[in-house]
Chains A and B, each alone.
Chain A
Amino acid sequence: MSSLNAKNKDAFHALASERSGSKGPKARRRNCARPMAPGTAVGGCAFDGAKVALQPITDVAHLIHGPLACEGNSWDNRGAASSGPTLWRTSFTTDLTEIDIVMGHSERRLFKAIREIKDGYAPAAIFVYSTCVTAMIGDDIDVVCKRATDEFALPVVPVNAPGFVGSKNLGNKLAGEALLKHVIGTVEPDEPGLCDINILGEFNLSGEFWQVKPLLHRLGIRVRACIPGDARYLQVASAHRSRAAMTVCSTAFVTLARKMQERWDIPFFEGSFYGISGTSEALRRIADLLVKKGADPSLLHRTEILVAEEEEKVWKRLEAYRPRLEGKRVLLNTGGVKSWSVVHALMEIGMEIVGTSVKKSTLEDRERVKQTLKEENLLFESMSPRELFSLLLERKADIMLSGGRTQYIALKAKLPWLDINQERHHAYAGYEGIVQLARQIDLAIHNPVWPQVREPAPWEPALVVEKRAKREA
């Protein structure tokens, strides 16, 4: 466990040591590895984070080594899209029983499970995830994976992120470590190009990266690896030959990006494909990095032309929504990249932000949202449902944007709500995405159900109705 500890520290070290800021490295590390208090904790564990960060790699079999709950209660709950293989959507777990644990059969069972999966599903690779119980009883998945790799001539990758080591956030980073240690750099690509890039921390939820990829293609930029969204194992394994990288969800993979820069000299920046200027900025910076690394300088000019064209088109399309959304008040309860990028995108179309959570956000994320909002008291850490409920009413929000876990806080307050996390059904990235986002917010806010559900019951005495009206006013 001590080696795991060291690795955890290492995963955060980069964050803590890099870049000067007003806070010391210690405070910043605490930022990332927030302690989990019994009885008040919310959110997933490290295993959750690791699985989430790797599972969208589509042609890999993801095998969860542990008792049933870790996988049985959580599979098939995220909407990352694949353009080809669907193996990642098949769920594999060793589903350990009491006998396996008591008799110490679990490693053998894992090995047999790997063989069964190899024979039955012909995966490009198998990722093996440890969990609390298997880590606790001392199963050495590294050794089992090594042996399986040798015996089956198939990459079998250990992912050491049992739930108890920390938060989901830490799990994301440990997933990056696993890729760095066992996957990236293990395959040499056939034809590396001068305009190859990596996109890190993009999950292709609802296929949203496909709204950005064509823009890059038009500029002659090839996405060698988008990790993890719609990725293939071989793309990830050869990602070290890209010329530049962008991290979309920095929380997940900024450490990976940094280490790839150190090891293979791949410069990167943190950006976002949410919002108009966010998307334009991202395209410009990708072009800029590529040119600095030797791509044809005309790329810069072509990027400007594309940006100008696309921006003009998208502003025209947004005109229909502007008068309907201008001045509407939004409460955002999300984390990571979205805490600032979506804020920015919404302000661009004239909406007012009455609060945004900065849970799971990196320090850079926080700085960005502060700069955008210019008001620090609009930022909040993760809140209890009751506090969030009151905040919605106090600040008179017209809509809450969040993930499925907190949706009922808004809905039970009879307020519009829109899903912008992993279970959402619409793609919000790129120029196309902001139009979709505006449309969905418009539909949510102006839905005719709101006045209906707020209508008092026929039997409610006038006094109660009046009291409520006063409270809501």
Chain B
Amino acid sequence: MARVVSQTKSAAVNPLKSSQPLGAAFAFLGVDGAIPLLHGSQGCTSFALALLARHFNEAIPLQTTAMNEAAIIVGGADRLEEAILSLKARTRPRLIGICTTASVEARDEDVVGDVENIKRRRAIELVGTEVVVANTPDFDGAIEEGWSKAVTAVIEATARPDKQYRNPRKIAILPGWNLTVADIEHLRETAVSFGLDPVILPDVSGALDGSIPEEWMPITNGGTKLQEIRDLGATMQCIAIGEHMRRPAEALQRLTGVPYVLFRSLTGLENVDRFIRVLAAMSRKQTPLNVRRNRMQLQDAMLDGHSHMAGKKIAIASEPDQLFQLSNFFAAMGAEIAAAVTTTGTSKALEMVPAKTVKVGDLSDLESLAAMADLIVTHSHGREAARRLGVPLMRVGFPMFDRFGSQHKLTVLYRGTRDVIFDFANIIQANHPPNPGPLDSTDRRESQ
């Protein structure tokens, strides 16, 4: 069990975190016809927008209430109302997902109450548009928690209470923020191959998958349909992926009675085996041929790759659930987690990270712990540290702004695990060649 060590410095140096409202906005982007609205100063949105656009290489629909000096003094309710009505009139979204920021939260504004008032007063103008609030101050949490709060808020605001007809084929899947577009598509295909009908929330495989609509779209284009979210109570079972998805899964259960099963990670043979068993049990079907084949390919990759990875020292920094997911995978391939750094110390997943300690900190903490590592695993901001230390970098998570195709990388189930092994082993091989060096290396050996 890992011991969680909290931050002692007064300044964060090279932050690992991206903010909580960004995480919430990210989740809202997985709902069809949505637009996230950050309630705060203009910069909050501008920064989040630029970072999301750099990561996805896509246009990102995101708006701001543009709090000004007066709003900071007298409160932002008027600007919130103006923003909601303006967005409704201009873009006709089906969902406006409000993410609060540090400025309104530090004022202790009752944004939920404000939105209720606005909805009541402007009921006619807002017909056809859901308005949902996630309380996501920047001074707390990070992407993971923002994501989880937004999904919870959507469920609580729209899912209909229980006593519905339950469709035995229908299941709900609540993926964590660390699943890519490719992961979600793969999850859906796998569930469908068992004859199941999955509703995935949020489903970022719509707006953020690189499709090209004919017209300019000011709102998300693709993702979970609102009607599907309303009908989540008609599913037989909910599958939550990642500890941070426990909160929305519990909200769903509370509202609709749909039971949930939680998978902390879908990467690694054992985790996937358990998942496949659950799908087989729910569908009462034999495991399809393609899934069986994928499992064999994974086993083969494990056999081929393990020797390059055994004993390698990994320094990893990420949000708690992704840290858990990847560090367990590395440990299962025989590598050693030499350093683990994360963004917030509250997640239960951290205790299960296979390292002596997990440090709540920033990339400078990672840098000071990673000097002797064989591999640094973190997002693109780790590039400078990796360069300074001369240790190769495996990019994971968010943001990844200096590599293409992060969304189309597969990281879950048998095939995803196989791909991660390939990635991992190739980086290790490129830096520690498995074959003997050139012949003149004997001279060097003698001289040493």
B216 and A37 form a contact (CB under 8 A)? no
Give a binary string over A78-98; 1 marks a CB under 8 Å from any B CB, 0 the rest.
000000000001111111111
> Which of B43, B86, B106, B384 makes the CB contact (< 8 A) with A37?
B86
Q: Which one of A287-295, A322-330, A384-392 is at the B interface?
A: A384-392
Q: Which one of A162-170, A250-258, A268-276, A312-320 is at the B interface?
A: A162-170
A227 to B86, CA, bound (A): 40
Give a binary string over B84-110; 1 marks a CB under 8 Å from any A CB, 0 the rest.
111100100000000001110011000
B138 interface contact, C-beta 8 A: yes
Name which residue of chain B comes closest to A49, CB basis.
B43
Name which residue of chain A comes closest to B88, CB basis.
A39
B42 and A93 form a contact (CB under 8 A)? no
A90 and B137 form a contact (CB under 8 A)? no
Most buried by A among B9, B12, B37: B12
B47 and A48 form a contact (CB under 8 A)? yes
A37 to B73, CA, bound (A): 17
B118 interface contact, C-beta 8 A: no
Say yes or no: A40-B11 contact (C-beta < 8 A), given A45-B46, A163-B41: no
| Chain A residues within an 8 Å CB radius of B86 | 37-40
A405 and B50 form a contact (CB under 8 A)? yes
Say yes or no: A90-B13 contact (C-beta < 8 A), given A68-B139, A73-B47: yes
B212 and A412 form a contact (CB under 8 A)? yes
Give min CB distance, A211 to chain B, whole Å.
Answer: 25
> Which of B42, B85, B87, B216 makes the CB contact (< 8 A) with A45?
B42
Say yes or no: A73-B84 contact (C-beta < 8 A), given A45-B46, A412-B59: no
Give a binary string over A16-44; 1 marks a CB under 8 Å from any B CB, 0 the rest.
00000000000000000001111111111
A386 to B59, CA, bound (A): 12
| Chain A residues within an 8 Å CB radius of B49 | 405
| Chain A residues within an 8 Å CB radius of B84 | 39
| Chain A residues within an 8 Å CB radius of B21 | 69
B17 and A384 form a contact (CB under 8 A)? no
Most buried by A among B41, B65, B213, B364: B41
A38 and B53 form a contact (CB under 8 A)? no
A44 and B140 form a contact (CB under 8 A)? no
A69 and B37 form a contact (CB under 8 A)? no
> Which of B10, B107, B213 makes the CB contact (< 8 A) with A136?
B107
A66 to B15, CA, bound (A): 13
A163 and B65 form a contact (CB under 8 A)? no
Most buried by B among A91, A389, A414: A91
A74 and B50 form a contact (CB under 8 A)? yes
A120 to B218, CA, bound (A): 46
A112 interface contact, C-beta 8 A: yes
B139 and A37 form a contact (CB under 8 A)? no
| Chain B residues within an 8 Å CB radius of A350 | none
Name which residue of chain A comes closest to B16, CB basis.
A72
B22 and A38 form a contact (CB under 8 A)? no
B27 interface contact, C-beta 8 A: no
Name which residue of chain B comes closest to A47, CB basis.
B43
| Chain B residues within an 8 Å CB radius of A164 | 41, 67-69, 71-72, 103
| Chain A residues within an 8 Å CB radius of B107 | 136
A216 interface contact, C-beta 8 A: no
| Chain A residues within an 8 Å CB radius of B40 | 132
> Which of A42, A69, A137, A384 makes the CB contact (< 8 A) with B106?
A137
A89 to B14, CA, bound (A): 9
List residues 2-60 of chain B with CB under 8 A from any CB of chain A: 9-15, 17-22, 37, 40-51, 53-54, 57-59
| Chain A residues within an 8 Å CB radius of B54 | 77, 404
Give min CB distance, B272 to chain A, whole Å.
Answer: 33
A116 to B9, CA, bound (A): 8
B262 interface contact, C-beta 8 A: no
B11 and A113 form a contact (CB under 8 A)? yes
B249 interface contact, C-beta 8 A: no
A404 and B53 form a contact (CB under 8 A)? yes
| Chain B residues within an 8 Å CB radius of A384 | 90, 218
Say yes or no: A68-B59 contact (C-beta < 8 A), given A75-B381, A164-B41: no
A39 and B67 form a contact (CB under 8 A)? no
B83 interface contact, C-beta 8 A: yes
A98 and B137 form a contact (CB under 8 A)? yes
Say yes or no: A72-B71 contact (C-beta < 8 A), given A96-B139, A136-B107, A404-B54: no
| Chain A residues within an 8 Å CB radius of B13 | 90-92, 120
Give min CB distance, A213 to chain B, whole Å.
Answer: 26
B79 interface contact, C-beta 8 A: yes
Say yes or no: A412-B213 contact (C-beta < 8 A), given A1-B69, A38-B83, A89-B384: yes
A67 to B40, CA, bound (A): 13
A194 to B39, CA, bound (A): 53
> Which of B43, B80, B140, B216 makes the CB contact (< 8 A) with A385?
B216
> Which of A44, A76, A97 makes the CB contact (< 8 A) with B139?
A97
B10 and A70 form a contact (CB under 8 A)? no
| Chain A residues within an 8 Å CB radius of B43 | 44-48, 70, 74, 163, 168
A69 and B12 form a contact (CB under 8 A)? no
> Which of B11, B37, B44, B139 makes the CB contact (< 8 A) with A98?
B139
Give min CB distance, B221 to chain A, whole Å.
Answer: 10
B224 interface contact, C-beta 8 A: no
| Chain B residues within an 8 Å CB radius of A48 | 43, 46-47
A409 to B215, CA, bound (A): 10
A98 to B11, CA, bound (A): 15
A162 to B67, CA, bound (A): 11
Give min CB distance, A300 to chain B, whole Å.
Answer: 45
Give min CB distance, B12 to chain A, whole Å.
Answer: 4
Say yes or no: A95-B11 contact (C-beta < 8 A), given A38-B79, A89-B384: yes
Give min CB distance, A90 to chain B, whole Å.
Answer: 6
Most buried by A among B45, B85, B213: B45
| Chain A residues within an 8 Å CB radius of B41 | 45, 47, 132, 162-164
| Chain A residues within an 8 Å CB radius of B103 | 132-133, 136, 163-164
> Which of A38, A112, A116 makes the CB contact (< 8 A) with B80?
A38
List residues 156-191 of chain A with CB under 8 A from any CB of chain B: 162-168
B66 interface contact, C-beta 8 A: yes
A424 interface contact, C-beta 8 A: no
A53 interface contact, C-beta 8 A: no
A91 to B364, CA, bound (A): 10
A47 to B41, CA, bound (A): 10
| Chain B residues within an 8 Å CB radius of A404 | 50, 53-54
| Chain B residues within an 8 Å CB radius of A166 | 68-69
| Chain B residues within an 8 Å CB radius of A236 | none
A408 and B11 form a contact (CB under 8 A)? no
B82 interface contact, C-beta 8 A: yes
A163 and B44 form a contact (CB under 8 A)? yes
B148 interface contact, C-beta 8 A: no
A117 interface contact, C-beta 8 A: yes
List residues 194-220 of chain B with CB under 8 A from any CB of chain A: 212-213, 216, 218
| Chain B residues within an 8 Å CB radius of A92 | 11-13
A90 and B213 form a contact (CB under 8 A)? no
Give min CB distance, B97 to chain A, whole Å.
Answer: 14
A77 to B54, CA, bound (A): 9
In the complex, 19 of the A-B residue pairs with CB atoms within 8 angstroms, ordered by the A residue number, are A38-B83, A45-B46, A48-B43, A67-B138, A68-B19, A69-B48, A70-B138, A72-B12, A73-B19, A73-B47, A75-B381, A92-B13, A94-B10, A95-B362, A164-B67, A386-B218, A404-B50, A405-B53, A412-B59
Given contact pairs A70-B44, A136-B106, A390-B216, enumerate 17 new A-B contacts (beta carbons under 8 Å): A1-B69, A37-B82, A38-B83, A38-B86, A39-B86, A68-B12, A69-B102, A72-B18, A73-B48, A75-B15, A91-B14, A163-B43, A164-B103, A167-B42, A384-B218, A404-B54, A405-B53
* Interface residues, chain B, with chain A CB atoms under 8 Å away: 9-15, 17-22, 37, 40-51, 53-54, 57-59, 63-69, 71-73, 79-80, 82-87, 90, 101-103, 106-107, 137-140, 142, 212-213, 216, 218, 362, 364, 381, 384, 401
